[in-house]
Amino acid sequence: MGKNQSVLDTATTPSTDSKQTIPECEPPASPSRSENPPRILVIGAGSRGNSYARAIRDSTAGKVVAVAEPIKFKRHAFGGKYIWGESTAAEGQEFGSWEQWLEWEKLRRKRQTAGEKVPDGVDGVLVCTLDETHVEIITAIAPLNLHILSEKPLATKLEDCLRIYSSLLPSGPRSDPSAIFAVGHVLRYSPHNMLLRRLLLEERVVGELISIEHTEPVGWWHFSHSYVRGNWRKESTTAPSLLTKSCHDIDLLLWLLSSPPSGSKRPPHLPVRVSSTGHLVHFKPSRKPASAGDATNCLSCPAESQCQYSAKKIYLDRNLRQGNTGWPVKIVSPDIEDIMQRDGLDAAERKLLRSLAEDHSPSMSAQEIEGRPWFGRCVFDAGNDVCDDQFVTIEWEDDPIPDFTDGIPGKLRDRGAKTATLHMIAFTEKICERRGRVYGDQGEVEYDSNVIRVHSFASNKTKTYHPRQAGGGHGGGDDGLASQFVSAIEAVKNQCLDVKEAQVRYVGCTLEDVIRSHALVFAAEEARRCHKVVNWTDWWQHNVELAFQK
């Protein structure tokens, strides 16, 4: 999306008759370059920090001007790619930690107030660190009144989400924001999902919505990498996999079924009940092949050659030997790309195998073992505990509005009883290529990550849409979110647009929307753990509303 294009203004393709493919949308114009571009700091130079920095460079009028990252190699690689190029970093461009940047920024402001000539500061901050660190970072920088985009999830506990909310709205939850805030719910911003929402809510291609079946296929080896061997393997150190992996799928469902159509003044149609079932089904000691014996690492396991989860097969055969030095290989060995370029494939293989051979020993404490990922570790002996198969059911009831607040007749329009299900499943061929079905009273929609098919009951015809396949991650969602966030900052900075208006026009959701979608995940987890159906209205009142009254 180009500069100043609203998230509400994305064009859809015209309709055609049965079985005829609808051509893809025209690509967006290249972003205009402002004379006073939004200046962005990225905290965390990992995969997500790099993804957003690339998106800002390629798809927005903004400029990444500083990075805070404790690992020197990652910090310099990031800076060379996005900030200072082949020269060296200038003052205010690199920091060894976010705390170091924060102290520098406070001093810079103090010196500026005293009339000294100082480097320019930043307009916005991207928080791309591990999930459990978000609360400390955001609450610390909130008083600076900078615009913030946080990677999802917002935090790993509901109380921390509410702490962030309070820090950003210190005058209370009903007060107006003083800065733009966005969270990495990138599914809202992909061309595919924006078209799907328009078809359902604005063109009403299947009439009143009755139910949605949505599936998040994590991918069999992707799950083993991130949620068995990787950083998100234990609920106690991070959060449930429903939050760390699928919180933006919950957000997508609320965006489709709760948020009113663009331009409507109607309040959101809120759910009434949520329930969930799910377990750690496969990745546990009871599933470990007998032939593996007591091996805890793939490279010393007698069953390695027969195991599909062999770390050697996944990282070396499927990726490095195919020329991929990016994700997931660089997560195992962050400097693998440099080694490959400098010393060749053989050296890169040796380095990767050394990393995969690292194993814990009986002499190590539990804290040492759990304090880092072990990417060569046996997936059946990894100490992980998050769900690898989970269902969530969200229910709505009729909620008519007595007057036509937006001039559209029909008291139940988009506010009738309906149901949504989310299935998060590890054991899939596809990796994060969502799919689903939408059932309406006038038709049915089938979608995957590439195609949307709409069948009309009345005409007995099917229309097929091919949404534009944007570059970047999440089907263009990374670039879409970066573009909208930077456009909102630019509108406030250079066009004197009110923050509240810019938040709605460009980001397309409020802080309350962000809290609601996260809260629904925590409610679903309570339902799963306690084997019950949660009354959403009562749960929100007790866990969110009352929290702000204390």
What pLDDT was estimated at residue 367?
84
Count CB atoms within 10 A of the CB of residue 205. 23
Res 407 pLDDT > 70: no
- pLDDT, mean of residues 347-356: 97
Strand pairing class (389-396; 273-279): antiparallel
Residue 426's alpha-carbon distances to 223, 226, 280, in angstroms, are 6, 11, 10
Q: b/e map of 421-451 (b: 16 or more CB within 10 Å)?
A: bbbbbbebeeebebbbebebeebbbbbebee
What pLDDT was estimated at residue 23?
38
Which of these, 377, 319, 389, lies nearest to 348 by C-alpha position? 319
Using H for helix, E for strand and C for coil, what is the string for 235-301?
CCCCCCHHHHCCHHHHHHHHHHHCCCCCCCCCCCCCCCEEEEEEECCCCCHHHCCHHHCCCCEHHHC
- pLDDT, mean of residues 349-376: 91
Asked which of 52-66, 117-131, 405-419, 524-538 is least confident by mean pLDDT, the reply is 405-419
In order of their start, the domains of the chain are 21-186+481-509 (3.40.50.720), 208-283+385-440+512-549 (3.30.360.10), 298-370 (no CATH)
Residue 180's alpha-carbon distances to 123, 480, 497, in angstroms, are 10, 16, 11
What pLDDT was estimated at residue 509?
92
Q: What proportion of the chain, given as a percentage, has pLDDT over 90?
A: 82
Asked whether 200 and 489 are in contact (CB, 8 A), the reply is no
What pLDDT was estimated at residue 403?
60
- pLDDT, mean of residues 143-172: 96
- pLDDT, mean of residues 220-234: 97
- pLDDT, mean of residues 353-376: 90
Nearest-5° angle of CA 168, CA 174, CA 178?
40
Helix (H) or strand (E) holding 390: strand 389-396
In whole angstroms, give the CA distance from residue 453 to residue 459: 14
Res 67 pLDDT > 50: yes
Instruction: Tell me the two tokens of residue 204.
Output: 């009403």
Res 16 pLDDT > 90: no
Which of these, 51, 151, 136, lies nearest to 102 by C-alpha position? 136
Asked whether 295 and 301 are in contact (CB, 8 A), the reply is yes
Q: Which of 164-178, 262-276, 517-531 has the highest mean pLDDT?
A: 517-531
Res 118 pLDDT > 60: yes
Convert the pLDDT of each residue in 385-405 to its tens digit. Answer: 999 999 999 999 999 887 655
Convert the pLDDT of each residue in 264-282 to its tens digit. Answer: 878 899 999 999 999 999 9
pTM of the model: 0.91
Asked whether 187 and 193 are in contact (CB, 8 A), the reply is yes
- Sign of the torsion formed by the C-alpha atoms of 312, 314, 318 and 323: negative
Using H for helix, E for strand and C for coil, what is the string for 18-65?
CCCEECCCCCCCCCCCCCCCCEEEEECCCHHHHHHHHHHHHHCCCEEE
Res 446 pLDDT > 80: yes
Task: Name the pLDDT band for 9 (thresholds 50, 70, 90).
Answer: very low
What pLDDT was estimated at residue 549?
76
β-sheet bridge partners, residue 420: 212, 394
Instruction: Tell me the two tokens of residue 401.
Output: 């509005």
